Structure 1
Amino acid sequence: MKTWLATSTPVTPAKAALPQTAHPPKGKGKGKGAGAPPGKRSRSEVHTGGLANLRTLAVATAELSLQSAKHIRLLSSIAIVTLLVPKHPVVESAAAVEQFGDAGEPDIRRWAILVSTLADEQKLPGDIRQVLSEHVNEVSSPEQLQDVVHICHCAPTSNDQSMFKVQLQVTTALERVAKAVVAACVVLGATVKYGPAPRTAAERLVASSLKQA
């Protein structure tokens, strides 16, 4: 067999026929019937999906705003003392201070008016007036109150002009004086408000819109 293999003429195997393939249509590869690339959405699908995402984002933003507003009202009720005081020359004088000037200046002026006028109010008990008078005598310039009086607001309520809302926030250095101010206002008929304030009109509107969404 080896001799035969050595002397025989080698047979060249025939080449296998290549499979015929269809030629792609000329142009930019977009022949008749060619579809969109896989994974690519049509414009209508993109538009519909965008609106759905926008609605989801709007609802989430509204819910977050309500949650934030609730937390702010809760924290404010902890940090700020709120009173409803019937119309009286003391609160009318404090409310007349305009909300202009340097940071904190209107609050300091309102605080000074409240303390000084309450100290002269004859209807108040002597111990309350004494605390207020001592504070009046100790403070000789507004600069002494810049870092201790943070908030002192006074304005008529929106639904009843004969009732004034007074809000106070001071440091612990003035805690004794602030308690005297609150006690004095209570003698004049004030009511101390506890807990978070009611929801604002904007909060109610957002909550109502969410129910309809």
Structure 2
Amino acid sequence: MNSWANVTAGGRPPKRAKADAVAASNTNWETLLVHTAKQGMHDATHVREHDAVLQRVVLFPASHQVCTHLQESGRFFAADCKNKSEQSSPHLFIWAALIATVGNLPVLTDEQKQILLQHASEMDSPQKLAQSVFVCRLKKAWAKDTLKLTFSTAPSLENLANVICTVLAANGGTVKHGVPPRGVHERAIAKILVEMGEYSSV
């Protein structure tokens, strides 16, 4: 008796009550995780819809000269960063390389070339360019041996962006339109929710 005489007046809780509390806690966690996953799916859908409006996407074979030149520019930027305490956004340097590369592609009209040259001459500093170019990057696409160019600009460069896409399409690029497909993590979450009966795959 001495071994348990100092127990509080309420005594030990019944094992059944403790088991019920654990089960309720597990249910709450499961509910929270389901709602969090659903919110993540909702947010991911909106992000993809916004990307479709705000960004231009062009696909290339990995060996395409546009990819080669932009990758060289990226490596130069990375090496240059080691020697400077401050550096502008890498997106701006990739954009500058893109303009120079597009201006030297074989299928290009004189009018298109003039538009590209005019833009290059007007943007005489990274600070000025940063006001109208927000994203410009090259990364691996889902398909094997394919790279994806993504860029986003201010409305003032809408005509230039159209010219770039037109020239790239005429020189082997594939301009993508519409809402992009779900990413790998979004698909995995959707699959789990569907199996739980908590989500429609449509």
TM-score bracket, normalised by the shorter chain, equals 0.7 to 0.9
Q: What's the offset of the Cα at 1:155?
A: 2.5
**Structure 2 match to 1:142:** 126
Native 8 Å contact 2:88 2:126 kept in 1: no
Native 8 Å contact 1:83 1:193 kept in 2: yes
Distance of 2:154 and 2:87 partners within structure 1: 17
TM-score in terms of structure 2 length: 0.77
Q: What's the offset of the Cα at 1:66?
A: 1.0
Distance of 2:9 and 2:132 partners within structure 1: 77
Of the three residues 59, 78, 82, the one matched with 1:84 is: 59
The structure richer in helix per residue is 2
Of the three residues 145, 149, 154, the one matched with 1:171 is: 154
Q: Does 1:152 align with 2:127?
A: no
Identity of aligned residues (%): 25
Q: What's the offset of the Cα at 1:50?
A: 1.0
Q: Does 1:127 align with 2:85?
A: no
Unaligned runs of 5+ in 2: 1-7, 197-202
Higher relative contact order (CA 8 A, sep 6+): 2
| Larger radius of gyration between Structure 1 and Structure 2 | 1
Letter of the 2:59 counterpart: L
Matched residue of 1:197: which SS? coil
**Structure 2 match to 1:7:** none
Task: Write out aligned runs for 1:86-101 (5 A).
Answer: 86=61, 87-96=63-72, 97-98=74-75
Distance of 1:168 and 1:123 partners within structure 2: 21
Distance of 1:70 and 1:129 partners within structure 2: 37
Q: What's the offset of the Cα at 1:158?
A: 4.0
**Structure 2 match to 1:110:** 94
When the two structures are aligned, how many residues end up with a matched partner? 178
Matched residue of 1:160: which SS? coil
Unaligned runs of 5+ in 1: 1-27
Native 8 Å contact 2:105 2:171 kept in 1: no
Offset from partner CA, 1:80-105 (integer Å, 9 cap, x none): 11111334222321134158667862
Distance of 1:103 and 1:205 partners within structure 2: 38
Letter of the 1:187 counterpart: A
Letter of the 1:117 counterpart: T
Letter of the 1:136 counterpart: A
**Structure 2 match to 1:183:** 166
TM-score in terms of structure 1 length: 0.74
Distance of 1:105 and 1:51 partners within structure 2: 46
Q: What's the offset of the Cα at 1:180?
A: 1.5
Native 8 Å contact 1:85 1:185 kept in 2: no
**Structure 2 match to 1:60:** 35
Q: What's the offset of the Cα at 1:29?
A: 7.7
Q: CA RMSD in A?
A: 2.6
Offset from partner CA, 1:13-68 (integer Å, 9 cap, x none): xxxxxxxxxxxxxxx987xxx9x8xxxx9212211111111111111111111111
